[in-house]
Amino acid sequence: MNVQPDLEFIRSLKEAGGDTLKKCYQCATCSVTCPLSKDGSPFPRKEMIWSQWGLKEKLIADPDVFLCHQCGDCTESCPRGAKPGDVLGAIRAYAYTFYGWPAPLAKLASSAKGLPMLIGIPVVVIFVMWLISGAMHIPTSEQFADHGYQQFFGHWDFKWYAKNIFFIVLIMVPSLGLGLFSAFKGVTRMWKTMSENAGINPDYRPSVGQFTKEFLWPSVVEIVQHNRFRECTVNIDRVRGHLPLMLAFIGLFIVTCWSLIKNDVLGLIWPSLHGPMLLIDPFKILANVSAIALLFGISVLWSNRKKAEQELDTKATFYDWFLIWEITAVGITGLGAELLRWAGAPTFGYIVYFLHLVSIMMLFLYLPYTKFAHLIYRTAAYTFEKYRESAFAQK
């Protein structure tokens, strides 16, 4: 067989944390040790040799790459000191950039060199929007106590749609829309390539209802329950970080939706619903609990990452740390803005709230290019794993 290695791809893997790939000598200890590897489709042995050969096209379309949870069991057992989990993590980082759209933005989010621009883009966008809104001023203590941050972008007399919400939607919806559209394009492209590699007949497909019920929904449930995370042994502590973090995002999503309904739907009928939520409000309690869970979860992941770098000699990479920094910024600025509102400090409160909007926009805008993308790509891989074992894939 004539193998044409992609040397640039190999170099990118080494830079992204896969620098031990050449230590592998194909003993298969990793595949035997991995609690998630299946007899019919074992990993990560084959991925290690494909990486050594630079077979980029096979790796970025390999669902097993995305099924790896990087728990460290294989690294613990490797007799040569190779770190297959880190290599697969580096492959995923490359895949997110490869499938990312638009390509310049995906490339920008792939290394620390682009960090000034990654921060600068949302800072400029939100600053300009704040300037355009005509509300670029710090409120009085009385105004701050009455409205909190609900007039950050100002106020107008049109009661059917608040000015503040108008500007926030104008900023955040296109950011999230671009992120989700890019993720959709990437996953669609990856699914097509995985199907071709698996020899699946594209003409024989389930209905949307069948696909959702038999493959997609069970995958989502399995991910939410963290079943595979719990099968890992070396780094089982990661469940303590990932699970509260996931639940925190779900809780904050619920609170955000309720806040919009309360202020911009029900508030039109009962004006008393306008304004910040009371501390005893159930949704406010959910928001605060979620914020604490978010900070707890990210602190566990932060600690685990530092421990891996110090004790296991895991390479520190921008890919691994960027999402940790992002989520930390979201949690600290969100909770900080609330504490400053309680303290009646509008100047510092508005500054921290501005940074909170920046961090949220970064999370949305760069969703498909960072480690956050594993929520989408791993869900697709779980779904494809079930699909390729079904009767539909055997036709």
DSSP 55: -
- Give the per-residue pLDDT at 3: 62
Q: What is the pLDDT of residue 111?
A: 87
- In three-state secondary structure terms, 156 is coil
Per-residue model confidence as pLDDT tens digits over 227-264? 888 777 766 677 778 888 889 989 988 988 888 787 77
Q: Would you state the pLDDT for residue 153?
A: 95
Q: What DSSP string runs through 67-101?
A: H----SHHHHH-TT---HHHHHHHHHHHHHHHH-S
pLDDT reported for residue 201: 77
Which portions of the chain are predicted below pLDDT 70? 1-5, 234-236, 274-276, 395
Angle between helices 282-311 and 238-261 (to 10 degrees): 150
What are the structure tokens assigned to 200, written together? Answer: 């699946």
Residues 14-72: tens digit of each pLDDT: 888 888 888 888 898 999 988 888 877 788 999 999 988 888 888 998 999 999 888 87
Model pLDDT, residue 241: 82
Q: What are phi and psi of 20, to 5 degrees?
A: -95, 5
Q: How far apart are CA 60 and CA 93, in angstroms?
A: 10
Place of tokens 């304004």: 275
In whole angstroms, how large is the CA radius of gyration of the chain? 23
Instruction: Check residue 236 and give its pLDDT.
Output: 67
DSSP assignment letter at 281: S
Q: What's the whole-model pTM score?
A: 0.87
The CB density around residue 23, as the number of other CB atoms within 10 Å, is 16
